[in-house]
Structure 1
Amino acid sequence: MENQPKLNRNKEVIAFLAKQFPLCFTEKGAARPLKIGIFRDLLEQIRDEKNISKTRLRSGLRFYTSSWRYLYGIKLGTQRVDLNGHLCGELETQHVEHARKQLKEAKARVQLQRTAQQTKKRENGKTETLDRLVAKKRSARSDNVTCSKSRLKSERSTSTLKKVAPVGKNAPVTDISTLQVGQVIKVKVGQNLMDATLMEIPKEWIRVQLFSGMALIVRAEHLQL
Protein backbone atom coordinates (compact mmCIF):
# COMPACT_ATOMS: atom_id res chain seq x y z
CA MET A 1 0.00 0.00 0.00
CA GLU A 2 2.90 2.34 0.70
CA ASN A 3 3.89 2.32 -2.97
CA GLN A 4 0.48 3.53 -4.14
CA PRO A 5 0.26 7.24 -5.09
CA LYS A 6 -1.61 9.60 -2.81
CA LEU A 7 -5.19 10.46 -3.76
CA ASN A 8 -5.22 14.23 -4.11
CA ARG A 9 -8.39 14.87 -6.09
CA ASN A 10 -12.05 14.33 -5.21
CA LYS A 11 -12.68 12.31 -8.35
CA GLU A 12 -9.78 10.02 -7.47
CA VAL A 13 -11.30 9.48 -4.01
CA ILE A 14 -14.71 8.65 -5.51
CA ALA A 15 -13.11 6.24 -7.99
CA PHE A 16 -11.33 4.56 -5.07
CA LEU A 17 -14.55 4.27 -3.02
CA ALA A 18 -16.51 2.95 -6.01
CA LYS A 19 -13.89 0.25 -6.47
CA GLN A 20 -13.72 -0.68 -2.79
CA PHE A 21 -17.49 -0.46 -2.13
CA PRO A 22 -19.30 -0.96 -5.48
CA LEU A 23 -22.66 -1.68 -3.79
CA CYS A 24 -22.59 1.74 -2.12
CA PHE A 25 -20.67 4.18 -4.35
CA THR A 26 -20.69 4.76 -8.13
CA GLU A 27 -18.46 6.88 -10.37
CA LYS A 28 -21.23 7.64 -12.86
CA GLY A 29 -24.99 7.45 -13.16
CA ALA A 30 -27.55 7.39 -10.36
CA ALA A 31 -26.20 7.53 -6.81
CA ARG A 32 -27.94 5.85 -3.87
CA PRO A 33 -28.52 7.79 -0.62
CA LEU A 34 -25.81 6.95 1.93
CA LYS A 35 -26.22 5.78 5.48
CA ILE A 36 -26.06 8.55 8.10
CA GLY A 37 -22.65 8.30 9.76
CA ILE A 38 -21.06 6.46 6.86
CA PHE A 39 -17.92 8.58 7.24
CA ARG A 40 -17.10 6.79 10.51
CA ASP A 41 -17.69 3.43 8.81
CA LEU A 42 -15.29 4.43 6.04
CA LEU A 43 -12.58 5.42 8.50
CA GLU A 44 -12.91 2.02 10.14
CA GLN A 45 -12.78 0.12 6.85
CA ILE A 46 -9.83 1.95 5.28
CA ARG A 47 -7.77 2.67 8.38
CA ASP A 48 -4.86 0.73 6.87
CA GLU A 49 -4.90 2.68 3.60
CA LYS A 50 -1.88 5.00 3.37
CA ASN A 51 -2.76 6.66 0.08
CA ILE A 52 -5.77 8.64 1.35
CA SER A 53 -5.91 11.07 4.25
CA LYS A 54 -8.83 11.69 6.56
CA THR A 55 -9.16 15.25 5.24
CA ARG A 56 -9.15 14.11 1.61
CA LEU A 57 -11.72 11.39 2.40
CA ARG A 58 -14.05 13.94 4.02
CA SER A 59 -13.66 16.31 1.06
CA GLY A 60 -14.34 13.53 -1.48
CA LEU A 61 -17.41 12.37 0.43
CA ARG A 62 -18.77 15.93 0.59
CA PHE A 63 -18.15 16.32 -3.17
CA TYR A 64 -20.05 13.06 -3.80
CA THR A 65 -23.10 13.95 -1.69
CA SER A 66 -23.39 17.47 -3.16
CA SER A 67 -23.33 16.28 -6.79
CA TRP A 68 -26.49 16.64 -8.85
CA ARG A 69 -26.76 12.92 -9.50
CA TYR A 70 -26.70 12.24 -5.77
CA LEU A 71 -29.21 15.01 -4.94
CA TYR A 72 -31.56 13.70 -7.65
CA GLY A 73 -31.62 10.39 -5.78
CA ILE A 74 -32.83 11.95 -2.54
CA LYS A 75 -36.57 11.24 -2.78
CA LEU A 76 -39.33 10.35 -0.39
CA GLY A 77 -39.67 6.61 0.06
CA THR A 78 -36.05 5.89 -0.93
CA GLN A 79 -33.86 3.79 1.40
CA ARG A 80 -30.33 4.66 2.46
CA VAL A 81 -27.55 2.08 2.01
CA ASP A 82 -24.42 1.17 3.97
CA LEU A 83 -21.00 0.26 2.57
CA ASN A 84 -22.22 -3.24 1.66
CA GLY A 85 -25.37 -1.99 -0.08
CA HIS A 86 -27.69 -3.04 2.75
CA LEU A 87 -30.78 -0.92 3.34
CA CYS A 88 -30.57 1.03 6.54
CA GLY A 89 -33.47 3.42 6.84
CA GLU A 90 -35.85 5.47 4.75
CA LEU A 91 -35.10 9.08 3.93
CA GLU A 92 -36.79 11.62 6.18
CA THR A 93 -38.81 14.53 4.83
CA GLN A 94 -36.40 17.14 6.14
CA HIS A 95 -33.49 15.47 4.36
CA VAL A 96 -35.43 15.36 1.09
CA GLU A 97 -36.38 19.03 1.39
CA HIS A 98 -32.78 19.96 2.17
CA ALA A 99 -31.56 18.06 -0.90
CA ARG A 100 -34.14 19.78 -3.10
CA LYS A 101 -33.00 23.16 -1.77
CA GLN A 102 -29.35 22.30 -2.49
CA LEU A 103 -30.21 21.18 -6.01
CA LYS A 104 -32.22 24.33 -6.68
CA GLU A 105 -29.38 26.55 -5.45
CA ALA A 106 -26.82 24.62 -7.51
CA LYS A 107 -28.92 25.03 -10.67
CA ALA A 108 -29.35 28.74 -9.93
CA ARG A 109 -25.57 29.15 -9.62
CA VAL A 110 -25.00 27.38 -12.91
CA GLN A 111 -27.64 29.51 -14.64
CA LEU A 112 -26.07 32.66 -13.20
CA GLN A 113 -22.67 31.60 -14.50
CA ARG A 114 -24.10 30.87 -17.94
CA THR A 115 -25.84 34.25 -18.03
CA ALA A 116 -22.61 35.99 -17.04
CA GLN A 117 -20.69 34.10 -19.73
CA GLN A 118 -23.28 34.96 -22.38
CA THR A 119 -23.22 38.62 -21.33
CA LYS A 120 -19.44 38.66 -21.48
CA LYS A 121 -19.53 36.97 -24.88
CA ARG A 122 -21.99 39.57 -26.22
CA GLU A 123 -19.88 42.40 -24.80
CA ASN A 124 -16.75 40.90 -26.36
CA GLY A 125 -18.65 40.61 -29.65
CA LYS A 126 -19.66 44.26 -29.47
CA THR A 127 -16.09 45.25 -28.67
CA GLU A 128 -14.79 43.23 -31.61
CA THR A 129 -17.40 44.79 -33.89
CA LEU A 130 -16.48 48.28 -32.68
CA ASP A 131 -12.80 47.52 -33.20
CA ARG A 132 -13.54 46.34 -36.73
CA LEU A 133 -15.52 49.51 -37.45
CA VAL A 134 -12.73 51.69 -36.10
CA ALA A 135 -10.17 49.76 -38.14
CA LYS A 136 -12.39 50.06 -41.21
CA LYS A 137 -12.76 53.81 -40.75
CA ARG A 138 -9.03 54.18 -40.27
CA SER A 139 -8.41 52.14 -43.40
CA ALA A 140 -10.96 54.19 -45.35
CA ARG A 141 -9.38 57.40 -44.07
CA SER A 142 -5.95 56.14 -45.09
CA ASP A 143 -7.29 55.15 -48.52
CA ASN A 144 -8.86 58.59 -48.95
CA VAL A 145 -5.58 60.29 -48.07
CA THR A 146 -3.75 58.03 -50.50
CA CYS A 147 -6.32 58.71 -53.22
CA SER A 148 -6.14 62.46 -52.58
CA LYS A 149 -2.37 62.40 -52.83
CA SER A 150 -2.55 60.32 -56.00
CA ARG A 151 -5.18 62.63 -57.51
CA LEU A 152 -3.14 65.71 -56.62
CA LYS A 153 -0.05 64.13 -58.12
CA SER A 154 -2.02 63.22 -61.24
CA GLU A 155 -3.40 66.75 -61.53
CA ARG A 156 0.07 68.19 -61.18
CA SER A 157 1.34 65.79 -63.82
CA THR A 158 -1.54 66.70 -66.13
CA SER A 159 -0.94 70.39 -65.53
CA THR A 160 2.70 69.93 -66.40
CA LEU A 161 1.83 68.03 -69.56
CA LYS A 162 -0.67 70.66 -70.59
CA LYS A 163 1.81 73.50 -70.25
CA VAL A 164 2.96 74.88 -73.60
CA ALA A 165 5.52 77.30 -74.83
CA PRO A 166 5.48 80.88 -73.54
CA VAL A 167 2.79 83.26 -74.70
CA GLY A 168 3.21 84.49 -78.22
CA LYS A 169 2.96 81.33 -80.31
CA ASN A 170 -0.86 81.33 -80.26
CA ALA A 171 -3.21 84.00 -81.60
CA PRO A 172 -4.95 86.00 -78.84
CA VAL A 173 -8.75 86.16 -78.79
CA THR A 174 -9.95 89.55 -80.02
CA ASP A 175 -13.63 88.83 -80.54
CA ILE A 176 -15.41 86.64 -77.97
CA SER A 177 -18.45 86.40 -80.25
CA THR A 178 -16.47 83.87 -82.27
CA LEU A 179 -16.16 81.58 -79.26
CA GLN A 180 -18.53 78.68 -78.54
CA VAL A 181 -19.33 76.74 -75.36
CA GLY A 182 -17.49 73.43 -75.39
CA GLN A 183 -14.68 74.78 -77.52
CA VAL A 184 -11.10 73.85 -76.55
CA ILE A 185 -8.96 76.91 -76.05
CA LYS A 186 -5.71 78.07 -74.50
CA VAL A 187 -5.80 79.91 -71.16
CA LYS A 188 -2.97 82.03 -69.86
CA VAL A 189 -2.10 80.92 -66.35
CA GLY A 190 0.92 82.80 -65.05
CA GLN A 191 3.59 82.61 -67.73
CA ASN A 192 2.14 79.50 -69.40
CA LEU A 193 -0.77 78.52 -71.62
CA MET A 194 -2.92 75.59 -70.61
CA ASP A 195 -5.62 73.73 -72.51
CA ALA A 196 -9.16 74.33 -71.28
CA THR A 197 -12.79 73.94 -72.33
CA LEU A 198 -15.16 76.91 -72.60
CA MET A 199 -18.02 76.41 -70.14
CA GLU A 200 -19.83 79.78 -70.16
CA ILE A 201 -19.41 83.04 -72.12
CA PRO A 202 -21.15 86.06 -70.53
CA LYS A 203 -20.30 89.60 -71.67
CA GLU A 204 -17.49 90.61 -69.31
CA TRP A 205 -15.94 87.35 -68.24
CA ILE A 206 -15.58 83.78 -69.41
CA ARG A 207 -15.71 80.58 -67.38
CA VAL A 208 -13.41 77.78 -68.48
CA GLN A 209 -12.39 74.40 -67.09
CA LEU A 210 -8.81 73.21 -67.32
CA PHE A 211 -8.15 69.66 -68.42
CA SER A 212 -7.02 69.01 -64.85
CA GLY A 213 -10.61 69.67 -63.72
CA MET A 214 -10.04 73.10 -62.20
CA ALA A 215 -12.61 75.78 -63.14
CA LEU A 216 -11.50 79.39 -63.73
CA ILE A 217 -13.18 82.70 -64.54
CA VAL A 218 -11.04 84.81 -66.87
CA ARG A 219 -11.24 87.76 -69.23
CA ALA A 220 -10.91 87.52 -73.01
CA GLU A 221 -7.33 88.83 -72.94
CA HIS A 222 -6.27 85.67 -71.08
CA LEU A 223 -7.45 83.42 -73.93
CA GLN A 224 -5.66 82.36 -77.09
CA LEU A 225 -6.64 80.20 -80.01
Structure 2
Amino acid sequence: MRMPQMKKSEALMTTPTEQNVKAATVKDVLAYLATQFPACFSLTGEAKPLKIGIFQDLAERLQNDATVSKTQLRQALRIYTSSWRYLEATKEGVSRIDLDGVAGEPIDASQAEHASKLLEESKAKAAEKRKAKLAEAKAKNPPPAVTDKPAYKKTPNKKAILPSKSTKVNQKPVSQSQPEKAPVPAAALQPVVTGQVIVGSKVLIKLGQNPMPATVLEVHKDDVTVQLGSGMVVKTRQDSLFLA
Protein backbone atom coordinates (compact mmCIF):
# COMPACT_ATOMS: atom_id res chain seq x y z
CA MET A 1 0.00 0.00 0.00
CA ARG A 2 1.36 3.37 -0.95
CA MET A 3 1.57 6.02 1.82
CA PRO A 4 0.08 9.46 1.06
CA GLN A 5 2.72 11.98 0.10
CA MET A 6 3.15 14.98 2.46
CA LYS A 7 2.81 18.43 1.08
CA LYS A 8 5.95 20.49 0.83
CA SER A 9 4.59 23.10 3.29
CA GLU A 10 3.80 20.37 5.82
CA ALA A 11 7.28 18.90 5.47
CA LEU A 12 8.85 22.22 6.41
CA MET A 13 6.74 22.63 9.56
CA THR A 14 8.36 21.81 12.89
CA THR A 15 7.01 21.49 16.38
CA PRO A 16 7.39 24.48 18.78
CA THR A 17 10.08 22.64 20.75
CA GLU A 18 12.23 22.39 17.65
CA GLN A 19 12.08 26.10 16.90
CA ASN A 20 14.77 28.47 18.23
CA VAL A 21 13.27 31.46 20.05
CA LYS A 22 15.24 34.61 19.22
CA ALA A 23 16.58 36.46 22.27
CA ALA A 24 15.05 39.90 22.39
CA THR A 25 17.10 41.72 25.03
CA VAL A 26 20.58 41.61 26.56
CA LYS A 27 18.98 40.15 29.67
CA ASP A 28 17.59 37.31 27.57
CA VAL A 29 21.03 36.69 26.00
CA LEU A 30 22.77 36.54 29.39
CA ALA A 31 20.10 34.19 30.72
CA TYR A 32 20.62 31.96 27.67
CA LEU A 33 24.41 31.95 28.13
CA ALA A 34 24.02 31.06 31.82
CA THR A 35 21.82 28.14 30.76
CA GLN A 36 24.15 26.91 28.01
CA PHE A 37 27.42 27.49 29.91
CA PRO A 38 26.62 27.36 33.66
CA ALA A 39 30.26 26.71 34.60
CA CYS A 40 31.24 30.01 32.99
CA PHE A 41 28.34 32.49 33.27
CA SER A 42 26.12 33.27 36.26
CA LEU A 43 23.31 35.73 36.86
CA THR A 44 23.66 35.99 40.65
CA GLY A 45 26.31 35.50 43.28
CA GLU A 46 30.02 35.82 42.72
CA ALA A 47 31.10 36.10 39.09
CA LYS A 48 34.19 34.42 37.60
CA PRO A 49 36.69 36.29 35.40
CA LEU A 50 36.40 35.15 31.78
CA LYS A 51 39.13 33.90 29.51
CA ILE A 52 40.58 36.55 27.19
CA GLY A 53 39.19 35.92 23.69
CA ILE A 54 36.11 34.11 24.96
CA PHE A 55 34.00 35.85 22.31
CA GLN A 56 35.63 33.75 19.59
CA ASP A 57 34.89 30.60 21.59
CA LEU A 58 31.25 31.65 21.95
CA ALA A 59 30.90 32.50 18.27
CA GLU A 60 32.29 29.08 17.32
CA ARG A 61 30.09 27.17 19.77
CA LEU A 62 26.93 29.06 18.77
CA GLN A 63 27.54 29.44 15.05
CA ASN A 64 24.56 27.23 14.21
CA ASP A 65 22.38 28.61 17.03
CA ALA A 66 19.85 31.16 15.81
CA THR A 67 18.94 32.20 19.34
CA VAL A 68 21.63 34.88 19.54
CA SER A 69 23.63 36.81 16.97
CA LYS A 70 27.26 37.87 17.15
CA THR A 71 26.18 41.45 17.72
CA GLN A 72 24.07 40.37 20.68
CA LEU A 73 26.98 38.32 22.02
CA ARG A 74 29.34 41.31 21.93
CA GLN A 75 26.81 43.54 23.66
CA ALA A 76 26.02 40.92 26.31
CA LEU A 77 29.72 40.31 27.06
CA ARG A 78 30.32 44.06 27.38
CA ILE A 79 27.46 44.40 29.88
CA TYR A 80 28.49 41.27 31.80
CA THR A 81 32.17 42.23 32.18
CA SER A 82 31.34 45.80 33.24
CA SER A 83 28.97 44.78 36.04
CA TRP A 84 30.02 45.57 39.62
CA ARG A 85 30.07 41.94 40.74
CA TYR A 86 32.31 40.97 37.79
CA LEU A 87 34.73 43.86 38.40
CA GLU A 88 34.82 43.02 42.12
CA ALA A 89 35.77 39.42 41.23
CA THR A 90 38.59 40.54 38.94
CA LYS A 91 41.42 40.47 41.47
CA GLU A 92 45.10 39.77 41.14
CA GLY A 93 45.94 36.06 41.19
CA VAL A 94 42.40 34.86 40.38
CA SER A 95 42.37 32.47 37.39
CA ARG A 96 40.29 33.18 34.31
CA ILE A 97 37.98 30.40 33.07
CA ASP A 98 36.79 29.19 29.68
CA LEU A 99 33.26 28.21 28.63
CA ASP A 100 33.56 24.87 30.43
CA GLY A 101 34.83 26.41 33.68
CA VAL A 102 38.42 25.25 33.19
CA ALA A 103 40.89 27.59 34.92
CA GLY A 104 43.44 29.36 32.77
CA GLU A 105 45.91 32.18 33.16
CA PRO A 106 45.71 34.26 36.38
CA ILE A 107 44.89 37.96 36.49
CA ASP A 108 47.97 40.15 36.85
CA ALA A 109 48.35 43.36 38.88
CA SER A 110 47.69 45.75 35.99
CA GLN A 111 44.48 43.96 35.03
CA ALA A 112 43.27 43.97 38.62
CA GLU A 113 44.09 47.67 38.99
CA HIS A 114 42.23 48.48 35.77
CA ALA A 115 39.15 46.59 36.99
CA SER A 116 39.27 48.39 40.34
CA LYS A 117 39.44 51.76 38.59
CA LEU A 118 36.49 50.91 36.35
CA LEU A 119 34.48 49.81 39.40
CA GLU A 120 35.20 53.06 41.23
CA GLU A 121 34.25 55.17 38.19
CA SER A 122 31.07 53.17 37.63
CA LYS A 123 29.92 53.62 41.24
CA ALA A 124 30.70 57.34 41.08
CA LYS A 125 28.60 57.70 37.91
CA ALA A 126 25.75 55.79 39.53
CA ALA A 127 25.87 58.09 42.55
CA GLU A 128 25.76 61.14 40.29
CA LYS A 129 22.77 59.74 38.42
CA ARG A 130 20.91 59.11 41.67
CA LYS A 131 21.71 62.63 42.82
CA ALA A 132 20.50 64.09 39.51
CA LYS A 133 17.26 62.08 39.68
CA LEU A 134 16.59 63.28 43.22
CA ALA A 135 17.19 66.89 42.16
CA GLU A 136 14.88 66.45 39.18
CA ALA A 137 12.18 64.91 41.35
CA LYS A 138 12.43 67.79 43.82
CA ALA A 139 12.24 70.30 40.97
CA LYS A 140 9.05 68.67 39.66
CA ASN A 141 7.47 68.39 43.09
CA PRO A 142 8.87 71.20 45.25
CA PRO A 143 8.03 70.99 48.94
CA PRO A 144 5.49 73.50 50.24
CA ALA A 145 6.95 76.84 51.20
CA VAL A 146 7.76 77.09 54.86
CA THR A 147 6.32 80.22 56.38
CA ASP A 148 7.07 81.71 59.75
CA LYS A 149 4.93 80.15 62.39
CA PRO A 150 2.31 82.57 63.65
CA ALA A 151 2.86 83.72 67.14
CA TYR A 152 0.73 81.79 69.55
CA LYS A 153 -2.10 83.93 70.77
CA LYS A 154 -2.00 84.01 74.48
CA THR A 155 -5.28 82.92 75.98
CA PRO A 156 -6.52 85.67 78.22
CA ASN A 157 -6.76 84.79 81.83
CA LYS A 158 -10.48 84.64 82.46
CA LYS A 159 -9.89 84.81 86.17
CA ALA A 160 -7.93 88.02 85.74
CA ILE A 161 -10.80 89.56 83.79
CA LEU A 162 -13.38 88.66 86.34
CA PRO A 163 -13.77 91.29 89.05
CA SER A 164 -12.73 90.29 92.51
CA LYS A 165 -15.14 89.91 95.33
CA SER A 166 -14.06 93.23 96.75
CA THR A 167 -14.75 94.86 93.39
CA LYS A 168 -18.22 93.35 93.29
CA VAL A 169 -18.87 94.64 96.78
CA ASN A 170 -17.69 98.10 95.81
CA GLN A 171 -19.85 98.06 92.68
CA LYS A 172 -22.93 96.95 94.56
CA PRO A 173 -25.21 99.91 95.13
CA VAL A 174 -25.63 100.93 98.72
CA SER A 175 -29.07 100.11 100.01
CA GLN A 176 -30.97 103.17 101.24
CA SER A 177 -32.33 101.12 104.14
CA GLN A 178 -28.76 100.61 105.44
CA PRO A 179 -27.00 103.97 105.23
CA GLU A 180 -23.26 103.95 105.47
CA LYS A 181 -22.05 104.64 108.97
CA ALA A 182 -20.28 107.96 109.20
CA PRO A 183 -16.70 107.78 110.48
CA VAL A 184 -16.08 108.95 114.01
CA PRO A 185 -14.57 112.43 114.02
CA ALA A 186 -10.91 112.39 114.98
CA ALA A 187 -11.42 115.22 117.51
CA ALA A 188 -13.83 113.06 119.55
CA LEU A 189 -11.35 110.22 120.03
CA GLN A 190 -10.16 109.64 123.58
CA PRO A 191 -7.33 107.23 124.36
CA VAL A 192 -8.22 104.23 126.44
CA VAL A 193 -6.71 104.17 129.90
CA THR A 194 -4.41 101.21 130.44
CA GLY A 195 -6.55 99.67 133.16
CA GLN A 196 -9.67 99.85 131.02
CA VAL A 197 -8.29 97.55 128.28
CA ILE A 198 -9.74 94.16 129.21
CA VAL A 199 -10.86 91.17 127.20
CA GLY A 200 -14.35 91.69 125.81
CA SER A 201 -14.36 95.50 126.06
CA LYS A 202 -15.46 97.61 123.09
CA VAL A 203 -12.87 100.00 121.72
CA LEU A 204 -12.03 101.98 118.62
CA ILE A 205 -8.93 101.26 116.61
CA LYS A 206 -7.57 103.72 114.11
CA LEU A 207 -6.67 102.08 110.81
CA GLY A 208 -5.83 104.66 108.21
CA GLN A 209 -7.79 107.88 108.51
CA ASN A 210 -10.97 106.49 110.12
CA PRO A 211 -11.29 104.66 113.46
CA MET A 212 -13.18 101.39 113.44
CA PRO A 213 -15.06 99.62 116.25
CA ALA A 214 -13.45 96.50 117.63
CA THR A 215 -13.61 94.02 120.50
CA VAL A 216 -10.62 93.17 122.67
CA LEU A 217 -9.70 89.48 122.39
CA GLU A 218 -6.37 89.32 124.19
CA VAL A 219 -4.17 91.65 126.25
CA HIS A 220 -0.48 91.02 126.74
CA LYS A 221 1.31 93.92 128.36
CA ASP A 222 1.27 96.73 125.77
CA ASP A 223 0.17 94.42 122.92
CA VAL A 224 -3.54 94.00 122.35
CA THR A 225 -5.34 91.68 119.93
CA VAL A 226 -8.72 92.94 118.74
CA GLN A 227 -11.41 91.72 116.33
CA LEU A 228 -13.01 94.16 113.90
CA GLY A 229 -16.68 94.15 113.02
CA SER A 230 -15.82 92.46 109.72
CA GLY A 231 -14.31 89.54 111.63
CA MET A 232 -10.70 90.49 110.90
CA VAL A 233 -8.32 90.00 113.85
CA VAL A 234 -5.70 92.70 114.29
CA LYS A 235 -2.79 92.88 116.70
CA THR A 236 -1.86 96.43 117.83
CA ARG A 237 -0.62 98.41 120.79
CA GLN A 238 -2.70 99.90 123.59
CA ASP A 239 -1.85 103.47 122.62
CA SER A 240 -3.64 102.83 119.29
CA LEU A 241 -6.94 102.15 121.03
CA PHE A 242 -9.60 104.71 121.85
CA LEU A 243 -12.84 104.74 123.80
CA ALA A 244 -15.82 103.50 121.87
TM-score (structure 2 length as normaliser): 0.50
Task: Kindly provide the amino acid, as one letter, of the partner of residue 57 in structure 2.
Answer: D
* Distance in 1 between residues matched to 2:117 and 2:81, nearest whole Å: 14
1:120-135 equivalences under 5 Å are: 120-126=136-142, 129=144
The Cα of 1:74 is off from its aligned counterpart by 0.5
The Cα of 1:5 is off from its aligned counterpart by 1.9
Task: Kindly provide the amino acid, as one letter, of the partner of residue 129 in structure 1.
Answer: P
Given that residues 92 and 111 in structure 2 are in contact (C-alpha distance below 8 angstroms), is that contact kept between their aligned partners in structure 1? no
Aligned to 1:12: 28
Given that residues 38 and 83 in structure 1 are in contact (C-alpha distance below 8 angstroms), is that contact kept between their aligned partners in structure 2? yes
Aligned to 1:57: 73
Does residue 81 (structure 1) correspond to residue 105 (structure 2)? The answer is no
* Distance in 1 between residues matched to 2:112 and 2:93, nearest whole Å: 10
Given that residues 34 and 41 in structure 2 are in contact (C-alpha distance below 8 angstroms), is that contact kept between their aligned partners in structure 1? yes
Where has structure 1 moved over 6 Å in runs of 4 or more?
A: none
Given that residues 8 and 56 in structure 1 are in contact (C-alpha distance below 8 angstroms), is that contact kept between their aligned partners in structure 2? no
Given that residues 34 and 82 in structure 1 are in contact (C-alpha distance below 8 angstroms), is that contact kept between their aligned partners in structure 2? yes
64-73 or 113-122, which deviates more = 113-122
**Number of aligned positions between the proteins:** 131
* Distance in 1 between residues matched to 2:118 and 2:140, nearest whole Å: 33
Aligned to 2:58: 42
Aligned to 1:112: 128
Task: Kindly provide the amino acid, as one letter, of the partner of residue 144 in structure 2.
Answer: T
* Identical residues among aligned pairs (%): 42
**Secondary structure of 1:80's partner?**
strand
1:57-206 equivalences under 5 Å are: 57-126=73-142, 129=144
Given that residues 75 and 96 in structure 1 are in contact (C-alpha distance below 8 angstroms), is that contact kept between their aligned partners in structure 2? yes
Task: Kindly provide the amino acid, as one letter, of the partner of residue 117 in structure 1.
Answer: K
**Secondary structure of 2:144's partner?**
helix
Residues 110-133 of structure 1, C-alpha deviations (whole Å, 9 max, x = no match): 11011112222333343x525x99
Does residue 28 (structure 1) correspond to residue 49 (structure 2)? The answer is no
Given that residues 2 and 51 in structure 1 are in contact (C-alpha distance below 8 angstroms), is that contact kept between their aligned partners in structure 2? no
* Distance in 1 between residues matched to 2:66 and 2:138, nearest whole Å: 50
Task: Kindly provide the amino acid, as one letter, of the partner of residue 33 in structure 1.
Answer: P
The Cα of 1:2 is off from its aligned counterpart by 6.9
Gaps of 5+ in 1: 134-225
Task: Kindly provide the amino acid, as one letter, of the partner of residue 64 in structure 1.
Answer: Y
Aligned to 1:3: 19
* Distance in 1 between residues matched to 2:39 and 2:60, nearest whole Å: 17
**Secondary structure of 1:129's partner?**
coil
Task: Kindly provide the amino acid, as one letter, of the partner of residue 102 in structure 2.
Answer: H
Write 1 or 2 for the structure with the bigger share of helix. Answer: 1
Task: Kindly provide the amino acid, as one letter, of the partner of residue 32 in structure 2.
Answer: F
**Secondary structure of 1:41's partner?**
helix
Gaps of 5+ in 2: 1-16, 148-244
Measured on the aligned residues, the alpha-carbon RMSD in Å equals 1.9
Given that residues 33 and 70 in structure 1 are in contact (C-alpha distance below 8 angstroms), is that contact kept between their aligned partners in structure 2? yes
TM-score (structure 1 length as normaliser): 0.54
* Distance in 2 between residues matched to 1:68 and 1:13, nearest whole Å: 19
The structure whose Rg is larger is 2
Task: Kindly provide the amino acid, as one letter, of the partner of residue 91 in structure 1.
Answer: I
Between 1 and 2, higher relative CO (CA 8 Å, sep ≥ 6) is seen in 1
Task: Kindly provide the amino acid, as one letter, of the partner of residue 131 in structure 2.
Answer: T
